[in-house]
């Protein structure tokens, strides 16, 4: 698999079905083809619940990423802080 394919493919496993599905983000579907197919959707209330859950999970992921970036910045400053303390006789 090329690097580009690795960026556009996602390996999803549905535990209920025990199947593996490959999705590609670069595939385009013609509106006429899609319009000719019946795509079952959950009720609107369930769609809203799914959206709310995804928003919650996405916000949690963003918060975690921000915390990790802040922690990484602290870690990157650590060697300089330790050296400064050593030269100041605080270690």
- Whole-model pTM over 0.75: no
Residue 12: the pLDDT is: 46
Our CA angle for 20, 26, 31, nearest 5°, is: 100
Question: Quick one: CA torsion of 43, 45, 47, 49, rounded to 10 degrees?
Answer: -140
User: Partners of 13 in the beta sheet?
Assistant: 20
Mean pLDDT on 41-49: 92
The CB density around residue 48, as the number of other CB atoms within 10 Å, is 11
- Average pLDDT over all residues of the chain: 76
Query: What does the chain come to in residues?
Result: 91
Q: For strand 9-14 and strand 19-24, is the pairing parallel, antiparallel, or unpaired?
A: antiparallel
Mean pLDDT on 50-57: 94
Residue 33: the pLDDT is: 72
Whether 11 has a pLDDT exceeding 80, the answer reads: no
Mean pLDDT on 19-43: 71
Our CA angle for 76, 81, 84, nearest 5°, is: 145
Q: Domain-by-domain residue ranges, the chain? A: 3-87
């Amino acid at each position: 698999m090329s690097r580009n394919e690795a960026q556009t493919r996602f390996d999803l496993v549905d535990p209920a079905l025990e199947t593996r599905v490959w999705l590609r983000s670069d595939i385009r579907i013609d509106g006429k083809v899609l319009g000719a197919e019946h795509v079952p959707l959950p009720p609107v209330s369930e769609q809203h619940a799914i959206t709310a859950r995804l928003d919650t999970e996405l916000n949690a992921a963003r918060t975690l990423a921000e915390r990790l970036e802040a922690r990484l910045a602290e870690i990157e400053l650590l060697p300089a802080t330790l050296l400064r303390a050593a030269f100041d006789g605080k270690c």
